[in-house]
Structure 1
Amino acid sequence: MKPTLYNRLAVAVVVAGLLAACSAASPEDDKKARLEKLKTEQANISKEIQKLEEEIAKENPDAETKVKAKEVAVEELQPRKFDHFVQTQGRVESENNILVSAKSMGVVTQVYVTEGSQVTKGQVLAQIDNSVIVRNIESMKAQLELATAVYERQKNLWDQKIGTEVQFLQSKTNKESLEKQLASVQEQNEMTRIKSPISGVVDEVTVKAGENIAPGMPAFRVVNASDLKLLANVSEAYVTDIKKGNKVIVNIPELKKEIEARVTFVGRTIDLLSRTFNIEVKLPSQPDLRPNMTATVKVVFRTEPSTLVVPVNVIQQVNNEKIVYVAEAKGKQTVARKKVVTVDGVYGNLAGVKGLNAGDKLITVGYQGLNDGEYVKI
């Protein structure tokens, strides 16, 4: 076989030389035309050489002569755990992130806290002018003291069957009425104190001493960062997949960390505009977490404990089939073999597939343009 090859090549070269010589000897031929002709003949000879080399390599796989092989990189496939998940965006919120406002109208006389102050539930944050109410309280206390004394005397007399029942009842009614009025005024006085409804940190102070304030006007923001949750919206396409208790992987870009948690609430309503439903994830207490931080959320709704996974970019669509290439030994050579696969979910940059076997050497670099049976070099 080999002498035949070289004889054929020698004849081709001689013929090319003769043609070139004849062309040069013909004065009527243009130089450019001769050059193009020679180039065409050279290309044909190169193709013939390549074809013969491939035929020799196929007929003699163990021979030293090898065809030019395409360089590739491979990855040996092994079963692994594979998560089916949906990815979305979310934001961190505090269960206790409260705007505190006044309950009564008036001028703020004193502010007792600053931003960053630790406060406890019921602690007074600011005082509204209550001078008139305090004077009313003192006056009512004096009246109540007199009414109580009159009532006690009338009660003693009534117990001794002295005096009339009307006098006793009037003194009793007067005393009880003043007690209720005093309690009402004292309650009004309590409303002049702006108190924290929760324990936490003062995150914002919007009121100043000397300012007028009215009920409903925000004065402070108090946040308890130990009780945080994450809110996210998920496409309605996953409404039957996402359930309470599903594992969630929360990635906070600013913190450069991942937090593993669980779905604690799944909304029952689909938003008409976005076609999504909301979920909540309770987050563990961490000092770096802040309300309104953004996060990338992966909600895992199914986990394959052992399956074959390939990079999604190596899967090619050819003639309505999804294919990949694996490297197989053929004698002393290595060839690419086409494998038709079935994709069982694409998540991130990975795809779970069926149609491959553990130990297969998947071609991950240089797979573009490969043909089944083509020689490759790892």
Structure 2
Amino acid sequence: MTTRSLIATALVSAALVGAGGTLSACGKKPEADTKAAATDQARAVSVTRVETRALGGGFKASGQLIPREEAAVGSELSGYRVANVYVEEGAWVRAGQPLAQLDNTLLRAQLAQQAAVAAQAEAEAKRVTGLDGQGILSQEQIESRRYAAKAQAAALAELQTRDRRMTITAPVSGRVLERTVRPGDVAGGSTPWFRIARDGLVELNAEVNEADLANVRVGQPVQVTVPGGATVSGDVRIVSPLIDANTRLGRVRVRLPLNEALRAGGMASAVFGASGVQVTAVPESAIRYDAEGASVVTVDSDNRARQVAIKTGQRGGGWVQLLQGPAPGARIVKNAAAFTLDGDRVKPIEQAAR
């Protein structure tokens, strides 16, 4: 082959290699351009995470301080004069301690008389022991004496019980909140003579609006402040199942420790803290509602939006409990109003939830 032929062959080969490289480059460029274009066209959205947190709390309420358990004490007897009253309002008493004494002078005389009658009837009944069926006395006479003995013994027992009730005693240990009886008063009527707060304990009967009541749980911490400025830590003891139809308020009993600043009948305000129950939750703003129900939009590892149906539970502080839905840690679109369709590629801008 001549030198000219060799040069021509080399030029042709170079041209072919160059053409192949150009074709190869032309084949890859559209794919890269497509991905870049898709990235540039993706909508930027704010995302946050599904969290595990305590819901409920942070709201205020007020109510009246009342005895946790109150004992009303009075006399079961009527017609007897009050001889002595032993305690005043504010006194601390123990269970069984005498509070007042009725005049039992007349009753004592009745007791002595009835004891004598009962003894005689018992003696008469003993005389007919063993005489049944012997004809000395009729069976009717024998049974009559035995019945009389039992009746007189019962009458004596009734007077003895009445005598014991002449002393009015405290049914529980605690603090006397009120005393309405005076020496010289006559027993009778239904008004209690004493009101006793068991163990001296007072609690708050708070009035909570219907929306906040849904977030209150037994054991939830509460800070209670009285008008004097003293603050006492307590916790929820009872959540009423009833909502007042007129005021739309429910009752919450807040357990409080023994404290001299807490006076039954006074008013107090309360700040309810978080319920302490940890639940899976998302911001309220992340939830979509449509004809098919509630849902959130998650963002997967490929930055594509996926609409996921959810079931919700309790609410509080701008958060909603997820009974069913994505797991804690999953990325979700923070604003449900963001226009994203299922399968859309997005540019996630992660923001910490507040």
Contact preservation (8 Å) 1:251, 1:297: yes
The alignment status of 1:208 with 2:167, answered yes or no, reads: no
Q: Secondary structure at the match of 2:87?
A: coil
Distance in 2 (CA, whole Å) between partners of 1:356 and 1:297 is: 37
The alignment status of 1:140 with 2:114, answered yes or no, reads: yes
Corresponding position of 2:22: none
Q: Secondary structure at the match of 2:58?
A: strand
Tell me whether 174-183 or 289-298 shows the greater mean CA deviation. Answer: 289-298
- Equivalent positions of 1:4-15 (< 5 A) are none
Once the 2 structures are TM-superposed, how far is the Cα of residue 176 of structure 1 from its aligned partner? Answer: 0.4
The alignment status of 1:223 with 2:226, answered yes or no, reads: no
Corresponding position of 1:197: 171
The alignment status of 1:299 with 2:272, answered yes or no, reads: yes
Contact preservation (8 Å) 1:137, 1:186: yes
The alignment status of 1:102 with 2:82, answered yes or no, reads: no
- Equivalent positions of 1:100-249 (< 5 A) are 100-103=73-76, 104-158=78-132, 163-249=137-223
Q: Indicate how the Cα distance of structure 1 residues 201 and 239 shifts in structure 2: closer, same or farther if over 3 A, else same.
A: closer
Distance in 2 (CA, whole Å) between partners of 1:171 and 1:82 is: 77
- 1:184 partner letter: E
Corresponding position of 2:262: 289
Q: Secondary structure at the match of 1:221?
A: strand
Distance in 2 (CA, whole Å) between partners of 1:238 and 1:230 is: 17
Distance in 1 (CA, whole Å) between partners of 2:218 and 2:200 is: 22
Structure 2: gaps of 5 or more residues:
1-53, 279-316, 320-333, 336-348
Contact preservation (8 Å) 1:235, 1:276: yes
Once the 2 structures are TM-superposed, how far is the Cα of residue 232 of structure 1 from its aligned partner? Answer: 0.6
Contact preservation (8 Å) 1:225, 1:290: no
Q: Please, what is the CA RMSD of the aligned residues? A: 3.5
- 1:295 partner letter: A
Q: Secondary structure at the match of 2:108?
A: helix
1:140-182: CA deviations, max 9, x gaps? 1001111111212211444989654333312210100111112
1:45-101: CA deviations, max 9, x gaps? xxxxxxxxxxxxxxxxxxxxxxxxxxxxxxxxxxxx998422111222112334433
TM-score, with normalisation over the residues of structure 2? 0.56
Q: Indicate how the Cα distance of structure 1 residues 159 and 239 shifts in structure 2: closer, same or farther if over 3 A, else same.
A: same
Corresponding position of 1:278: 251
Contact preservation (8 Å) 2:204, 2:253: yes
Corresponding position of 1:72: none
Q: Indicate how the Cα distance of structure 1 residues 154 and 83 shifts in structure 2: closer, same or farther if over 3 A, else same.
A: closer
Corresponding position of 2:283: none
1:88-144: CA deviations, max 9, x gaps? 112221123344333223321222333444323233322223333222211110011
Distance in 2 (CA, whole Å) between partners of 1:217 and 1:302 is: 41
Corresponding position of 1:368: none
Return the match for 1:87 from 28, 40, 60: 60
Once the 2 structures are TM-superposed, how far is the Cα of residue 240 of structure 1 from its aligned partner? Answer: 2.7
Q: Sequence identity, in percent?
A: 27
Contact preservation (8 Å) 1:110, 1:126: yes
Distance in 1 (CA, whole Å) between partners of 2:276 and 2:159 is: 64
- Equivalent positions of 1:36-51 (< 5 A) are none
Q: Secondary structure at the match of 2:181?
A: coil
- 1:177 partner letter: A
Contact preservation (8 Å) 1:101, 1:217: yes
1:182-232: CA deviations, max 9, x gaps? 222333334443332222233433322223342223423323344332211
Distance in 1 (CA, whole Å) between partners of 2:99 and 2:108 is: 19
Distance in 2 (CA, whole Å) between partners of 1:153 and 1:242 is: 74
| Count of matched residue positions in the alignment of Structure 1 and Structure 2 | 234
